Amino acid sequence: MAEGAAVRRGKPYRGKMASCVRLQLGRWVAGVWAVLGVSGCMQSSRVDDAVTAASLTSAKKAVAVMRVGSASPTCLHVGLLLGVRDGDAYKRHSTVTVANVRSITETPVAEVELDPGEYHVIGYSCVGEKGPAVVTDSAGGQLYRTSFAHFALSPGEIINVGYFHFGASQEGRSVFGRGLRTDVEISEWPLAELERFKIKRSAVYAQMKTRLMVVNDAPSADELAAMCRKWAALKAEGKAQDVPPACGGAASQTKRRDPKV
């Protein structure tokens, strides 16, 4: 794969995923960033230097390695909130941290040991001089509505899940509040950073394989086909007036917009 190519639904592309979620500030500060106020020193998530595929297999564990990008020039440290599926939502599972994300001497990479299974990125945090800012789509308690990307691990694996790029900006002037646009890309690491990681984390690098996480965006071809079949059945039963435009239906004719005065 060419350097910098992004991944969407497992295929190279150079676009972005956009979605609307609610901006929430400092909701998981206690679990992730509280150490900042205690010691003034942040450390990136790391696994034991002695970890091996054999030891992971024996313990029924796996390791994910990820490069996490800075959403803003003001970010000093960044973090991801990982979750697992819980029905139609995602349940908070664990956090990963990258300290000094804009360092030119260190590779801003997080390593995390996990049980085998599927994991979702359900939150992003940026810590600047004024404190943390967190983007999540909370459903209350430990549950979240939105997954930005996901990856899966099998026992004994040490997997580089790629470079997670994240951006968020408020837009619009809705009377109900401004919406939030998020942009997510997954790419290979820059070659220089991969070489730096090879030198600094040689034991992990030697055992590491790459399988990029997948951006959660439009449905796959199979998912779209299944959805369209469901809509067609509902239309046949009289439970839906038409199928969505993505399934060949007509665009909605019920939208109204008053002219500006």
Decide: helix, strand or coil at residue 2: coil
pLDDT tens, 74-117? Answer: 888 899 999 999 998 999 999 898 888 887 777 889 999 999 99
What 195-202 contacts at long range (C-beta under 8 Å, 24+ apart), as own/partner pairs, is 196/106, 196/107, 197/107, 197/109, 200/106, 200/107, 201/107, 201/109, 201/111
For residues 187 and 230, membership in a common domain is answered with: no
DSSP letters along 120-179, please?
Answer: EEEEEEEEETTEEEEEE-EEETTEES--SEEEEE-TT-EEEEEEEEEEEEEE---TT--E
88 lies in a domain?
yes
In this structure, is residue 239 part of a structural domain? yes
Could you tell me if 95 and 136 lie in one domain?
Answer: yes
Same domain assignment for residues 187 and 247:
no
Q: Say if CB 26 and CB 132 are below 8 A apart.
A: yes
Split into its structural domains, the chain has a count of: 2
CB contact set of 181 (below 8 Å; sequence gap of 6+)? 18, 19, 20, 168, 169, 170, 171
Identify the domain containing residue 198 by its residue range: 6-215
Give the per-residue pLDDT at 111: 94
What is the CATH classification number for the domain harbouring 39?
A: 2.60.40.10
* 165 shares a domain with 261: no
Q: What integer pLDDT is reported at residue 253 of this predicted model?
A: 58
pLDDT value, residue 59: 94
**pLDDT value at position 84?**
96
Spatial distance between the Cα atoms of 172 and 130, rounded to a whole number of angstroms: 25
Do residues 186 and 226 share a domain?
A: no
For the chain, list residues with pLDDT below 50: 1-40
Residue 209 sits in the same domain as residue 122: yes
pLDDT value of position 169: 72
Q: Do 64 and 114 meet the contact criterion of CB atoms below 8 Å apart?
A: yes
Going by C-beta distance under 8 Å and a sequence separation of 6 or more, which residues neighbour residue 252?
none
Are 131 and 53 found together in one domain? yes
Which residues make Cβ contacts (< 8 Å) with residue 190, sequence separation at least 6?
3, 4, 163
- 249 and 188 in a single domain? The answer is no
Q: Are residues 60 and 168 in the same domain?
A: yes
Query: Same structural domain for residues 22 and 90?
Result: yes
Residue 1 lies inside a defined structural domain of this protein = no
Query: Same structural domain for residues 226 and 198?
Result: no
Residue 131 pLDDT: 79
Same domain, 21 and 82: yes
pLDDT at 156: 96
Looking at residue 218, its pLDDT comes to 61
List the one residue out of 93, 97, 95, 75 whose CA is nearest residue 84: 93
